[in-house]
């Protein structure tokens, strides 16, 4: 599951130079307090790129958007994930709220589990109707690209399956 922070960063198009730096306590503190604010400001002002840092940690934010007005699709990850060979992505055919948990509160499929073509991976709730998202291939679920309870749109990649 992604944290709010990761989510925010992905949204604005982030680039953290060195993830090991996260071990520094100052950096942790900064993440908890200032960074969210910084990212918000970055999005709000439509800044193209920004480099800042303290001590020996540098932060670089770059926006992949080149259109300046407004904040587009703040709640959806419309960027497509590049799928390597041997991997397949399962996309949403509906616009609605993604449900990854069944009525017992357990995931339909856990990461690392094998799935069969036609197997239900999740549900998309569209105007009170639960639409099944089924795997189109046999393979192993290796990644879930969106969190439970989040809105998803038509064509959005939801699951990555390793096919061979």
Partner 1 sequence: MFRKILIANRGEIALRILRACRELDIKSVAIFSEADRESPHVQLADEAFCVGPPDVSESYLNLPNIISAALISGADAIHPGYGFLAENPEFVEICKDHNIVFIGPTRETMTLMGDKAMARKTVIAESVPVLPGTDVLEEDREAFSFARQYGFPLIIKAVAGGGGKGMRIVTNEGELRDNLSIARMESHRSFGDDRIYLEKFLPDARHIEFQILADKLGNVIHLGDRDCSVQRRNQKLIEEAPSQVISPYMRRKMGDAAVRAASAIGYHGVGTVEFLFSPDTSRYFFLEMNTRIQVEHPVTEMVTGVDLVREQIKTEMDEPLDINQRQVFIRGHAIECRINAEDPDKNFMPSLGEITRFRLPGGPGIRIDTHIFRGYKVLPYYDSLLAKVISHGKDREEALIRMKRALYEIDIQGIKTTIPFHRQMLNDIQFRQSEIHTRFVENMQESIQ
Asked whether the beta carbons of 92 and 156 are under 8 A apart, the reply is: yes
Q: Which residues pair with 126 in a beta bridge?
A: 129
Q: How far apart are CA 88 and CA 104, in angstroms?
A: 28
Kindly state whether residue 95 participates in binding partner 1, applying the rule CB under 8 A: yes
73 counts as binding partner 1 under rule CB under 8 A:
yes
What tokens does 156 get?
């959005």
Q: What kind and span of H or E run contains 97?
A: strand 96-99
Residue 5 CB, shortest distance to partner 1, in Å, is: 22
The nearest distance, CB 31 to partner 1, in angstroms, is 27
Of 20 and 44, the one with the shorter C-beta distance to partner 1 is 44
Binding mask 43-72 for partner 1 (x = CB under 8 A): ------------------------x-xxxx
∠ CA 105-124-126 to the nearest 5 degrees? Answer: 125
- The verdict on 96 binding partner 1 (CB under 8 A) reads yes
How many residues contact partner 1, by CB under 8 A? 22
Q: Would you give the binding string for partner 1 spanning residues 7-46, x where CB under 8 A is met?
A: ----------------------------------------
Query: Which residues are within 8 A (CB) of 50 and not within 5 positions of it... i.e. 6 or more apart?
Result: 42, 59, 60, 61, 62
Residue linked to tokens 């390793």: 162
Smaller CB separation from partner 1, 96 or 139: 96
């Amino acid at each position: 599951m992604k944290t709010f922070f990761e989510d925010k960063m992905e949204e604005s198009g982030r680039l953290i130079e060195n993830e090991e730096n996260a071990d520094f306590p100052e950096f942790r503190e900064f993440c908890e307090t200032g960074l969210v604010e910084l990212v918000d400001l970055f999005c709000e002002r439509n800044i193209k790129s920004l480099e800042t840092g303290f001590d020996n940690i540098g932060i670089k934010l770059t926006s992949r958007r080149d259109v300046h007005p407004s904040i587009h699709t703040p709640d959806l990850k419309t960027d497509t994930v590049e799928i390597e060979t041997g991997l397949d992505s399962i996309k949403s055919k509906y616009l609605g709220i993604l449900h990854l948990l069944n009525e017992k509160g357990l995931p339909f499929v856990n990461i690392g589990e094998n799935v069969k073509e036609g197997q239900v991976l999740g549900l998309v709730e569209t105007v009170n109707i639960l639409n099944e998202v089924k795997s189109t291939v046999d393979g192993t679920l290796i990644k879930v690209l969106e969190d439970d309870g989040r809105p998803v749109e038509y064509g959005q990649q939801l699951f990555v399956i390793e096919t061979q």
